[in-house]
Every structure is written in structure tokens, then in C-alpha cells.
């Protein structure tokens, strides 16, 4: 069975782009755009890894990770804070809220590989050039869809 990855970001373009890339890399991935929905979706979907944007309106990433992590069904999930705010204060607050990893936006290919190795040791074997090419293909497909 493929590793499941949940992407939670209030910006659909950001979430969908990451999901398309993950699917191109043969991961099972799903996006949602509202932190309030995360608990129900995570319990139903049972992801292995979840990327969560910190700066979402209403229910932010700190609240989202705390709520989802509190469920017994989600104790195995690796939670990744994904944010454009990479200050020490944001990192400390993210870890205090329950995140396992902290990644700044935009996420580069090498960082994505490092994160994926947490759930898939074979991700380290993916050549960065191939990942970059697949990302470029995803963006081209997105341009045709719009």
C-alpha cells in the first residue's frame, strides 16, 4: 500500500500543487483547505504524514495539529509544519503545538526528499533532477488545466 500524505493549506494552489507532485511520485495524497476539517479527514484517511500550513485564517496550523494529534487514531502520523515564517519563535511554537518537523516555504526538492524519507526510506534514492523535472511537469499540467 502506498504511503498516505495529507496536505492542509488554505491556499488551494499550494496544496494542490504539492498533492500533484506527491501523486507523480507514487504517493497517495489528498488536500484539504480548512484546518477545522482536518480532524475528521485525518481520522477517515489515516495519513502517514501531514503537511500543515501554520498561517491559515480562523483555525491555524497550531490549533489544527493539536486537535488532530489528540486522537488515538492519529498517533502514528508525522506532522510537518509548512510556513513562510521561519523565525525561531515560529519553530519553537510549532514544536510546542505538536509538530514533528518544520519546513519553510517554498520547499525545495532536497527538503521534500528529506521529509519523505521519514515515512519512505526509498525517497532518498530519488534523484533530485527527476523530482525537479516531475515538479516542472506538474506545473505545466496545471497551466493547461487553468
Reply yes or no on whether the pLDDT at 104 is more than 70.
yes
Q: Which of 41-55, 114-128, 130-144 has the lowest mean pLDDT?
A: 130-144
Q: What's the CA gap between 116 and 121, in Å, rounded?
A: 8
Question: What one-character-per-residue DSSP string does 76-112 give?
Answer: TPEEEEEES---HHHHHHHHHHT-SEEEESSPPHHHH
Q: Band the pLDDT of 132: cuts 50, 70, 90.
A: low
Q: Is this prediction's pTM over 0.75?
A: yes
Instruction: For residue 145, name the pLDDT band (cuts at 50, 70, 90).
Output: very low
CA angle 35, 36, 38 (to 5 degrees): 65
Mean pLDDT, to the nearest integer, of 142-146?
Answer: 41
19-77: pLDDT as tens digits: 998 998 889 999 999 999 999 999 999 999 999 999 999 899 999 999 999 999 999 99
How far is it, in rounded angstroms, from Cα 123 to Cα 113? 6
Residue 142 reports pLDDT greater than 50: no
Domain spans of the chain? 4-145
Q: Which CATH architecture has domain 4-145?
A: 3-Layer(aba) Sandwich (3.40)
Amino acid at each position: 500500500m502506498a504511503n498516505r500524505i495529507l496536505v492542509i493549506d488554505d491556499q488551494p494552489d499550494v496544496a494542490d500543487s504539492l498533492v500533484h507532485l506527491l501523486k507523480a511520485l507514487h504517493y497517495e495524497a489528498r488536500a484539504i483547505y480548512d484546518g477545522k476539517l482536518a480532524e475528521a479527514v485525518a481520522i477517515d484517511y489515516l495519513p502517514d504524514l501531514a503537511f500543515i500550513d501554520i498561517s491559515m485564517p480562523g483555525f491555524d496550523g497550531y490549533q489544527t495539529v493539536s486537535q488532530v494529534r489528540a486522537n488515538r487514531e492519529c498517533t502514528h502520523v508525522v506532522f510537518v509544519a509548512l510556513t513562510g515564517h521561519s523565525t525561531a519563535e515560529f519553530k519553537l511554537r510549532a514544536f510546542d503545538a505538536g509538530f514533528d518537523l518544520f519546513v519553510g516555504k517554498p520547499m525545495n526538492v532536497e527538503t521534500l526528499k528529506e521529509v519523505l524519507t521519514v515515512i519512505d526510506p526509498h525517497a532518498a534514492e530519488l534523484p533530485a533532477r527527476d523530482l525537479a523535472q516531475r515538479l516542472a511537469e506538474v506545473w505545466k499540467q496545471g497551466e493547461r488545466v487553468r
